[in-house]
Amino acid sequence: MLAADQPASQVVAQAGLAHVATASFLASRVVPTGGYAVALAGGVALARAAQVAGMRIGYGASIAAMLQAVAVLGPSRVSVPLTQALSAPLLGRLHERGRHLATQIGACAAIRATDQLLFTLFYIWIVGGIGAYAATYDAIAGRIPGVPGGTVAALGATALGLVAWTAFASVVQVLVYRAALRAWPAELEASASPSPSPSHGGRICPGGGGADVARPAPRYDPRAVAVAAVVAFCVLIATTVWVVLGAVAAWLAIAWATARADRSPLRAGLALAALLAAGALAFNLVGGSGLDLTLQRTVRAGLLVLVATWLRAAAGEDGVREVARRSLRRVRRVPAMGEAAEILDRLGAGGALGASGRALVADVRHVPRRPSALAAAVLRWVAREAERFRVAPPPAVARQLLRVAWRDRALVAGVIAAVAGALVTGR
């Protein structure tokens, strides 16, 4: 699974840093604002992994952290920490090699600009396309004297906003990483001596510890859940025809009712679905898309999030993790994928993430509200949590988790039949 020059012990040694990155990335997706700043701690951890173990292991830790976060919370708002997950290992390695500040900022800006551009285009497509986006811009900018209108002006204003944010965020990200990596050895020595914090109950159990709430086993094989969700998601991306939206909604209602789903990601999923649907509604109403098309795009936006939420709820945390682990092993010849699978194996369940979050709150509670003091406290937390984490043994997959039955085939066949029937009817 691993490259010949990457011993398993060296890979697994970075699991603590991947655990810290997971905790930070999860928090960045939960907070309503400021997710970029919250994710900086996770980016520092991944940069450190690449600094000490190489870029391949650094990206393995990054992939494992993102997949672990998806297993815990689902794929909602995954774009918030994604840029740092993509850039942190590279920046850590560039720092280790002594590259100039401008080189690091340029590399970070290139990754951030590409990532932000793709997500912006995807959002524009989901809420109604270039026409509705430009019409909304005209409706707002037309009230300001001297501001040009039209599609070119709308896209130009968006591009300027992305460039400004990319420049600011890249500079801040690189400066924070450099300062943290330079201070790391002293911080690590200082963090190794204290006794475990009370938030961990005095110890860390393998794979994360913490008391997990017992949940019923998922009804469906998580692989069938993933396939069905991908089919529904792709169909929703492709069309907004009412009969197709109705077919997907009906299938999703049945699938949710029969899935014995984990309800923990439901609240966040509903909130994000409402937010994205409201954005589509506003863009299309202001842009004058017409009531029927506006409602179609609004329903489509909400269904996209609900399908993603159902994927996590129906497969369960262990199911999503197992699907990710098996997918990584299938592409283990691709650089960093074997390392990611090995680290993901050792992260275990997400029980320790809450304890790590509480430890951070306790660490910064009495720190003066100054950027330098807060940054130092967060860095101490990153180093200490990575040092304290104890890796889990490789997981043993429960037979009841991965066992294809008639209901799994019916789940996948149901979404395909519903969509195919709707497409034929809608012609």
Tens of pLDDT, residues 267-294:
888 988 998 899 889 888 887 778 898 9
Which pLDDT value is given to residue 63?
Answer: 96
pTM to 2 decimal places: 0.85
Instruction: Give the Cα separation of 86 and 77 in Å (integer).
Output: 15
Backbone angles phi, psi at 324, to 5 degrees: -65, -45
Which pLDDT value is given to residue 193?
Answer: 39
Indicate the residue type of 23: A
Cβ of 189: how many Cβ atoms within 10 Å? 10
Q: What SS3 class is residue 100? A: coil
Interval 371-425: pLDDT, tens:
777 778 888 888 888 888 887 776 666 555 677 788 889 999 989 998 888 777 7
Closest CA relative to residue 191, chosen from 50, 367, 388: 388
Give me the residue label for tokens 């951070």: 360
Instruction: Give the Cα separation of 69 and 65 in Å (integer).
Output: 6
- Contact partners, residue 303, CB within 8 Å, separation at least 6: 236, 245, 248, 249, 252, 273
Residue 313, CA atoms < 13 Å, CB-side half-sphere: 24
Which pLDDT value is given to residue 395?
Answer: 66
**Cβ burial 391-425 (10 Å sphere, 16+ → b, else e):** bbeebeeeeebeeeeeebeebbebbbebbeebbee
Interval 294-336: pLDDT, tens:
999 999 999 999 999 999 999 988 889 889 988 998 998 898 9
Backbone angles phi, psi at 403, to 5 degrees: -150, 105
- How many residues in total does the chain contain? 427
User: pLDDT tier at 352 (50, 70, 90 boundaries)?
Assistant: low
Q: Locate 32 and state its tokens.
A: 């309503």
- Ordered DSSP codes for 260-299: ----TTHHHHHHHHHHHHHHHHHHHHHHT--HHHHHHHHH
Mean pLDDT of the chain: 83
Contact call for residues 303 and 248 (beta carbons, < 8 A): yes
Give the angle 304-305-311 at the CA atoms, nearest 5°.
95
Overall average pLDDT of the 162-191 stretch:
83
Who wins on pLDDT, 293 or 1?
Answer: 293
Q: Locate 359 and state its tokens.
A: 């430890």
- Contact partners, residue 183, CB within 8 Å, separation at least 6: 376, 379
Instruction: Give the Cα separation of 395 and 404 in Å (integer).
Output: 20
Who wins on pLDDT, 267 or 211?
Answer: 267
**Cβ burial 13-22 (10 Å sphere, 16+ → b, else e):** bbbbbbbbbb
